[in-house]
Structure 1
Amino acid sequence: MPLRYTLRQLEYFVAVGETGSIAAAAQQVNVSSPSISASVSHLEDELGVKLFVRHHAQGLTPTLAGRKLLDHAQMVLRQAAALHDLAGDLSGSVRGPLAIGCLSTFAQVLLPGLRRSFVEQHSDVRIRQIEADQSGLFGLLRQAKIDLALTYDLDLPRDLTFVPILELPPLVALSETHPLAHLPAVSVEELTPFPMVLLDLPHSAEYFLSFFTDAGLRANISERTRDMAMMRALVANGFGYSIVNLRPFNDLAPDGKPLRLVPMTGDKRPMKLGILTSSGSDHTLLHKTFLSHAQNWVEARTDRLLGAR
C-alpha cells in the first residue's frame, strides 16, 4: 500500500509532540496553525489511531499510541536527514537541513549574524535554531534534536566532543555611576562588598561564583536572573555589578542606559567558545563546512568579542 502521508506531515507531528501545542509547533516550523492541525488530523485518519488528547486551553498530550509513533517518526526524520546529507556528500554540495543549538546567554549576539553569513554563501542549507542553557544543549545533542551547538566549555560530559574557537576571559559589567566604574580592571576583593546581579543559569552561575570561593570570599548576591538582557538592564540601572565573558557589540542595556565592562584582575579561568557535537558522530560535508565557517566568522570578530576598543 502506498504511503499516504509525507515527511513534512511527520515533521509537523513531531513538532506538536515536542512542544505540546499547535501554536508552538507552528512557530517552531514556521507554518500556520491550521496547516499543523490539518496534518495531524490527516495522520490520525491514515494511521487509524488517535495521536493526541486535546485539552481545552491547555495544549495536547500524546496518547500511548502517539508516544510510540512519535519515537518512530523522529527516527524516520533522522534517517531521511541522513539520506539527504549523504546525497550532498556524494555530490560535493553543501545543502540540506541543519539544526543548530546555541547557549542562550550569547545566542542573540552571535547566532543571527553567523546564520546570515552562512546561508548567504550556501543558499541550499535550511537552518533551524534552538536556544537553551548548557544542560539543555547536552540533552538536545544526545537526543539528536540538534546537529551541533555553539557554547562554552562548561562542565562538558565525556560523551560529547568540543572544538574550541576562542578564549574569553571574564569581564565585570558595571553601571557608569558604580564606584568601581573608573578603574581599568577590578579584583574579586574589590567586588565583594558590592551587590551582585547573578546570571543564574546551570553551570554558568557556578563558574562565576567560583571566582569568589577560590579566593575564600562570598559574593553578595542581591539579584538573580536567567535572562541576559534583564541582567544588563539591572546592572545599568544600578542594582549591582555582574560578570560576563562575551562582550556585546555595544555597551548599552536594552533600555538604552550605558554599561561599562572592565577586565578582572588575577589569573581567572577563561571560558572557551566553541562547537559541541556528539562524540563519534559521522560529520557530513555540511557539518564540516559550518564548523569551518563558524571558526572563521568568530575569529574575525575576536577584538569585539574580547572587549577591545
Structure 2
Amino acid sequence: MNLHQFRFVHEAARRNLNLTETAKALHTSQPGISKAILELEEELGVDIFVRHGKRLKQITEPGHQVLQSVDIILRELANLRRIGDEYAKQDAGTLSIATTHTQARYVLPAPVAALRKKHPKVAVSLHQGTPEQVARMVLDGTADIGLATESLSDFADLVTLPCYEWQHVAVLPAAHPLASVSRLTLEQLASEPLISYHPSFTGRKRIDTAFAQRGLTPDVVLEAIDADVIKTYTRLGLGIGLVAEMAVRDDPMMGHPDAELVWRPVGHLFGPNLARIAFKRGAYLRQFVLTFAELVSDRLSSEAITQALKAPAGGESPPDYGL
C-alpha cells in the first residue's frame, strides 16, 4: 500500500467514479490509476469498486469503509504538512476563507484588516460562493475556514460554531408611502413588489416561511445574491428590498436626511438568523487561522475551537434558530 493508491481511490470517489476526470485532476494517466486501484484491491483482498468492463460503476460495501480510512489517512497527512508549515513559518502563510458575498462585503473587511495588522506576513485569499459551495471548499481543503448562514451545519464532517446573529431589514425609497411606517407588517409587504435574495442565500428561506405561515404569497419581482444589487433596483422603484441588516448599517448613502433610500427593521416578522463559522473536522489549524476566528466574533476563542475540532462527530450542536 502507498499514498499514491490512497489518493487515486479517494479522488475517484470524489469524481463520481469518472477515471478520466480523476486522471486530469491528478495529472496522471487513466491506465495508471486503474492499475494502482487494482493493486490496492488485490493487497487488501476486497473490491473497492464494482466494475462494468473497465468502468467503475459504484462503491462496494467494504469499499465505503476503505474510503473512510483513506480519508482519515490523507487528512492526517495534510495535518502533518500544516504542522511543518506552522513551525517553519510561525507568522507567515496564506489564510484561505470561503464565504458568501454578504459576509465578504459587509462582515469580513474589518477582521481581515485587523489580521493583516497583527500578522503582516499572512496573505488572505477570499473565495465566494453559495453556502453549499462554501461548505464544499472547506471540506476539500480549498479553504481553511468557512462563514455563512445556511447549509454549513448540514455537513457531518464540518465543525460549525455560532458566530453572530442578524436580522433582515426592509429598504424603501424615501418617498414610498410605507417609508413613514416604523413597524411594518407581513400584509403590508405582501401587497408590494419585493426584491430579495436568491432562495439559497442570506436567510431567504425564513422570509418565505414567514409569509407561508400567514397564508400570504409575496410578489417577488427580482432575486439577487448581492445586497448592493437589491438596493440599486429598489432605488429605481422596482419594489421594496429585503436585505441583511449589515448591508445598510454603515451605508453612507442611507444615513443622511436627503438619502434616496430608508430602511426599517423587520426582524419581528422573519426572526433572527445565525451566521456560523466552519472548519473541517480533525483539521490542524495554524495560529493565525484561530486568531482570525476570534477577530470575526467575540463568541469564539482558540480554546473553544480547538476543543470542538477534537470532539467526535454527532455530538450536541449549538442552537441553530431553525436554520
- How high is the TM-score relative to the length of structure 1? 0.64
Give 1:121 deviation, angstroms: 0.8
Match of 1:288 in 2: 290
**After superposition, where does 1:1-309 map in structure 2 within 5 Å?**
65-69=23-27, 82=79, 85-87=82-84, 89-90=86-87, 93-154=90-151, 156-159=153-156, 160-204=158-202, 205-248=204-247, 249-250=250-251, 252=253, 258-264=260-266, 266=268, 268-296=270-298
Separation of aligned partners in 2, 1:264 and 1:226:
19
Deviation for aligned residue 1:170? 1.9
Which AA in structure 2 matches 1:127? V
Distance in 2 of aligned mates of 1:218 and 1:292: 41
What SS does the aligned partner of 1:216 have?
coil
Aligned length: 232
User: SS where residue 215 of structure 2 aligns?
Assistant: coil
Structure 2 CA distance for partners of 1:182 and 1:116, relative to 1, 3 Å: same
Distance in 1 between residues matched to 2:290 and 2:197, nearest whole Å: 32
Structure 2's unaligned 5+ residue stretches are 1-19, 34-70, 301-323
| Higher Cα Rg, which structure | 2
Contact 1:114-1:294 at 8 Å conserved across structures: yes
Q: How many Å separate the matches in 1 of 2:246 and 2:181?
A: 18
- Distance in 2, Cα, partners of 1:212 & 1:63: 44
State percent identity of aligned pairs.
17
One-letter identity of the residue aligned with 1:129:
L
Deviation at 1:82, TM superposition (A): 4.6
Query: Quick one: distance in 1 between partners of 2:235 and 2:28?
Result: 46
Tell me by how many angstroms 1:84 deviates.
6.0
Runs (5+) with no aligned partner, structure 1: 1-61, 299-309
CA-atom RMSD in angstroms: 3.4
Bigger shift: residues 156-165 or 211-220: 156-165
CA separation in 2, counterparts of 1:208 and 1:113? 28
Change over 3 Å in CA distance of 1:227–1:153 after alignment to 2 = closer
2:196, 2:118 → 1: CA distance?
39
Partner Cα distance (2:121, 2:80) in 1: 16
Tell me the amino acid that sits aligned with residue 253 of structure 2. Answer: L
Query: Aligned with 2:207: secondary structure?
Result: helix
**One-letter amino acid matched to 1:147:** D
